[in-house]
Structure 1
Amino acid sequence: MIATKTMKSFLFALLACCAFLMWGTEKAAASISDAKAINVNQTYKGVLKDYYQQDFYKFTINAAGNITLSIKQKYNSAWDGQILNSSGQVFESFTTDDSEMISGDASRSVGLPAGTYYIKIEDYSGTAGVNYEFKVQFTQSNYYEKEFNDSLTAANAIELNKYYTGMLRRWDDNDFYKFTLTKPGNIKLLIKNQPGIEWYGHIQDTKGNIYNYIYTDDSEMVSGYETAEVGLPAGTYYVKIENYSDGFETPYQMKVQYTATDYYEKEFNNSITAANGLTLNKIYKGNLQNSDDKDFFKFTLTKPGNVALSIKQSPGTIWYVHIQDTKGNIYTKIYTDDSEMIEGNVAREVGLPKGTYYVLISNYSYGIDKTYEFQVKYTSSNYYEQEFNNNLTNATAVNLNQTYKGNLQDYNDIDFYKFSVPKDGLVNLQIPQKAGMELYAHIQNSSGKVYKDLYTNGSEAVKGNAALQVSLKKGTYYLQIKNYYGSIDIPYSFKLYMQTPGLASSKITVTNHKGKKDSIRISGIKKGDVIKVYNASTKGKLIAQKTSTGSADIISVNQIGEKAGKIYVTVTSPSMTESKRTAVSFTGEQTNAVKSSQVKITNNKSKKDVITVSKLKKGDVVKVYNASKGGKLLAKSGKVTKTSAAISISQLGKKAGSVYITVQSEGMKESARVKVSYKGEK
């Protein structure tokens, strides 16, 4: 009986060994040094003979990529699987599920650089003598996280604008990635959202300064990517990804998107000393990282001029923006409109003297982690109000006869301008009027005496200028402009001028030469006055212009006109406007003399003599004299209606003799006398 039991035990053991051999399992090694070499992307089987056995396998990859270890799961048997390196450092580890209804594989993935790695399989529960089945799957790619990258020094170098896949091995695992910008630009960090999982990601430098961060959305129906933007100067930066809620042992996908540009905010610029330098007349973009973030930008004006600050508006968002100097004095400010249908830009203008200024952008309502877009436009000019000019001491100096622009920043703002009157006379003020905008303005002296004031008209159909005229003595005066209604942050313009008194016609002499330049002599002027000559009382053509060198001057003109006419002369004194035009008449040039061949004289007997002149112009008048100078006018034709004139004379003389003929064209002087001989009567 005892022998029979022994024999049965022996037979049972023998059958078990045969079954094991027939299964075709791999003969695994019990240590890393003896690890069995396997190929990736193939399925292998094995068995743990007891609960203490550890099986090691070795594989090599010639390029970087993703490794996934899969172990088939079985009821009542749980294996531990690990991916490790030759030093025994574990990249990934997991335990299969042994529940009753379990099926499929348990797996873990890890990105690895080219090299040799190891698989370790051991018992967790109930696996002795139970066959296991596993596979090491490899996908070649440079775009997987490569462990270990849980510190700055071990950070994976990544390419910009490429998607990378990674996985946090434990709840406290950190993955670091490194990238370098050779030029400044905009960086956008993207992490794919996944229901039920929250990852935290940020961008930082080597010192640990965090530029921007994000938390992914774990809501049930979420899709797409969570993003965070930041402008960065050239340099090396890091991305850190960590678990926030259930974010380990699940692959994540992320990308660092880069757009090279000099026109994006570069963090950190949250103070005047760290302000980003900006180029005028260029559009910039930026992003506020948190509710306390402030972005500063710096610009310099080498000449005074007008600055227009504009910022793009966005529904549901209010940004606050202003221009200031180094002392914190605010020149103009903006609050964007957050209404639902808002679009376009809001802008404010301010005149500034040359100097260095700053733009501040901050959050007022829901302006965090949203891209803003702004521009500082600059027009170089001496003809803008220069803040701050809200008292006599700081009044903006202006010249007469120039148009200036200004802007009232708030209801308490008052703009003062200082001007000089060069001589006693009438000073004029003009302010263009706008619908819905009413300004108050007056002219005063330094003691506060107001000489005259005006209110602009803000009615809907208003046109033209509001104007005043006041008589002032030579000296210095001030113009004050302030809001009366609806004039805040709306540019206005004005012009102060004195009109130069017109010239008396007696001070202008015109000489209309024949065959050489004509001359215009003007007297009663001053050195520096500008003389202009026109051919019409309004508009017309400018014939000549000259700046006077003394109290009288002569202007030469190639041809003022053959025939008599008028010219119109103005004078403009420095700091004054052009005078009214003075009309001056001038005589025409001398008519060309006739040729003797044009004249035929018939000396009749017993009837009137006849002088015929041919080749004339319509309107010409012919005269006949008996002497080369002075003498007696013998006859005169009417205005010629065709091309010849026949003049009858009662008696030239019975004997042969001579007469002297002239012709005068319309608007011209009489020609020289031409001697023409005639024969005696027959």
Structure 2
Amino acid sequence: MKTAKQKRFAAVFAGMLCISCLNAPLAVDAESAGTAGENDTIATAEELPLNTAVSGDISAKGDVDFYQFTLPEDGLLQVSMIADWVSDFGDSYRITFYDADGNQISQDDYVHSNTQFPANGWTAGVYYLSLAPYYADYPPASTYTLTANFTPKSQWESDSAYELEPNDSFSNANALTLSAPCRGVFHNYQDTDYYTFTTDLPGKLSVTLGDETQSSGYLGWSLFLYNSDREQIGKTELTQGTASVTIPEQGFDPGTFYIQVKTNAMTNVNWSGAEQYTLTADFTPTDSTYESEPNDSTSRADVMLPNTPVSGKLSDESDVDYYKVTLDSAAQFSLCLEHALPDDLSSSGTPWTVTCYPFDEK
């Protein structure tokens, strides 16, 4: 049975660790008796070939093993670690990933045995990983086996099937394929991921954040939607025990949109695990019979044709929608608002207000 800490690791390696094919090629002995101690720093890191199993061991107290691997192009990295599990006290590792400059990407403690981790996309380049005993005075007695399986982005089921790090700002947001799920990973409690997409037509848009393993209870996750001006136009939160949340469907004008997914940072908790989520932006083209945001002023009012119903949605308590109707000649004019409200308005707040303005007056 996994302890809570063990489960958190099933997070950590997230991005980069994942149990892959257990029938991988025969392991290469990277740390024979003659090489032990020669890969104790990033500068002396041994090469970890892609799609090849490599074996080693933490030979003594204070020993650390560093490996270097190179991704020839953008793609999905899945690293598996296989090690004998002897007891709850020994045979546990601390595993850390670094970028080419030696900056720490993620770290997890109490790693052992065969554990499946979520996979993550990474940009082409050089990376490092290190293995050290979790208990410094009790190095694991058995050997370990590492396998870094790599799948080029060109072989993904869609261009955005996986998050592609780094994507921690608007400027390096991942391109997101509409109506196709994308798997992303939080590497630590401060991680935030950005995505972007562009629509050429007006349409209905909703964004869903999924948590298949319901691991969000540890921190809670937030989901934000922004327009091309990077103004927030939608928000929701995913909490413990919830498999998914959705920013409700709304109609929008054509344009570029951004999505931000982040953990709800807990400054007093040094959480270093990684958790995987699924992100989907669903879009359906519409015509003039559906509201198209932004329409929050007379200058941005949606055109409404006489005798033609228009569907709209007030996204929150501060939302206001404007429509413009043009009559070719003098005529009687009436407006009908169809809506669904609870029987008891006293428990739900203020009902909607509809106001008509003549075109030539303020």
2:64 pairs with 1:178: no
Could you tell me which of 39, 50, 58 is aligned with 1:159? Answer: 50
Please show how residues 190-269 of structure 1 align to structure 2 within 5 Å: 190-192=80-82, 194=85, 195-197=88-90, 198-217=92-111, 224-225=114-115, 227=117, 229-245=119-135, 246-247=138-139, 250-260=142-152, 261=156, 262=159, 263-269=161-167
What's the offset of the Cα at 1:359?
0.2
- Where do 1:298-377 residues align within 5 Å? 298-314=196-212, 315=214, 317=216, 318-325=220-227, 327-339=229-241, 342-343=242-243, 346-364=246-264, 369-377=274-282
Task: Report the Cα offset of residue 148 of structure 1.
Answer: 4.7
Indicate yes or no: 2:301 matched with 1:395.
yes
Aligned-partner Cα distance in 1 for 2:236–2:284: 20
Letter in 2 for 1:159: L
Instruction: Measure how far apart 1:152 and its partner are.
Output: 5.0
Q: Any conservation in 2 of the 1:212–1:228 contact (CA below 8 Å)?
A: no
| Cross-structure match for 2:171 | 273
Cα separation, 2, equivalents of 1:165 and 1:268: 29
> Is 1:442 the equivalent of 2:350?
no
Task: Describe the SS at the equivalent of 2:321.
Answer: strand
Identity of aligned residues (%): 22
| 1:413 alignment partner AA | D
Distance change (3 Å), C-alpha of 1:441 and 1:66: closer
The residue type paired with residue 158 of structure 1 is P
Which shifted more, 258-267 or 182-191?
182-191
CA contact (8 A) 2:42 2:102 kept: no
Instruction: Pick the structure with greater CA Rg.
Output: 1
Letter of the 2:110 partner, please give it. T
Map 1:529-540 → 2, pairs under 5 A: none
**Superimposed CA distance per residue, residues 195-233 of structure 1 (whole angstroms, 9 cap, x where no aligned partner):** 323322233332224333322347xxxx54274643212
- In the TM superposition, residue 265 of structure 1 has moved relative to its aligned partner by 0.9
CA contact 2:234–2:247 (8 Å) conserved in 1: no
**1:303 aligns to what SS in structure 2?**
coil
- The residue type paired with residue 89 of structure 2 is G
For 1:158 and 1:188, locate their aligned partners in 2 and report how far apart those are by CA, in whole Å: 13
Q: CA deviation at 1:396?
A: 2.9
Q: Is the 8 A contact 1:155 1:177 kept in 2?
A: yes
Instruction: Report how far residue 313 of structure 1 moved.
Output: 4.1
- TM-score between the two structures when normalised by the length of structure 1: 0.40
Shift of 1:176: 2.9
* 1:565-576 alignment runs, 5 A limit: none
Distance 1:326 1:181 in 2: 33
User: Quick one: structure 1 residues 338 and 248, their matched pair in 2 at CA, closer, same or farther if it must change by over 3 Å?
Assistant: closer
Per the alignment, do residues 180 and 300 of structure 1 end up closer, same or farther by CA in structure 2, a change over 3 Å counting? same
Aligned-partner residue type, residue 388 of structure 1: P
SS of aligned partner of 1:405:
coil
**Structure 1 counterpart of 2:321:** 415
| Counterpart AA for 2:76 | N
Report the CA distance between 1:309 and its aligned residue.
0.9
Give per-residue Cα distances to partners, 1:326-380, cap 9 Å, x unaligned.
54411111112423xx445534223222222210001138996221101111223
Deviation at 1:431, TM superposition (A): 4.4
Give yes or no for contact 2:73–2:123 (8 Å, CA) kept in 1: yes
Instruction: Sort the Cα spacing of 1:167 and 1:477 in 2 relative to 1 into closer, same or farther, 3 A.
Output: farther
The residue identity in structure 2 corresponding to 1:378 is F
CA contact (8 A) 2:235 2:247 kept: no
- Cα distance in 2, alignment partners of residues 362 and 207 from structure 1: 25
Mapped pair 1:381 → 2:314 = no
Alpha-carbon distance, 1:293 to partner: 1.0
* Cα distance, 1:310 vs structure 2: 1.3
Q: Is residue 39–residue 67 contact of structure 2 (8 Å, CA) maintained in 1?
A: no
* Helix, strand or coil at the partner of 1:390: coil
RMSD: 3.5
Structure 1 residues 46-195: aligned runs within 5 Å? 65=29, 83-84=33-34, 91-92=35-36, 148=39, 150-151=41-42, 154-160=45-51, 162-192=52-82, 194=85, 195=88
For residues 271-316 of structure 1, the C-alpha deviation after alignment (integer angstroms, 9 at most, x for no partner) is: 1112111122211110111111110011122233221111224545
- Is the strand fraction higher in 1 or 2? 1
Q: What do residues 512-570 of structure 1 show as CA deviations (whole Å, max 9, x unaligned)?
A: xxxxxxxxxxxxxxxxxxxxxxxxxxxxxxxxxxxxxxxxxxxxxxxxxxxxxxxxxxx
DSSP-derived class of the 2:171 partner: coil
Matched residue count: 308
- SS, match of residue 333 in structure 2: strand
Gap regions ≥5 residues in structure 1 = 1-62, 69-82, 85-90, 94-146, 447-474, 479-682
* CA deviation map 1:456-487 (0-9, x unaligned): xxxxxxxxxxxxxxxxxxx5799xxxxxxxxx
Counterpart Cα distance in 1 of 2:332 and 2:41? 83
Structure 1 residues 267, 418: closer, same or farther in 2, change over 3 A?
same
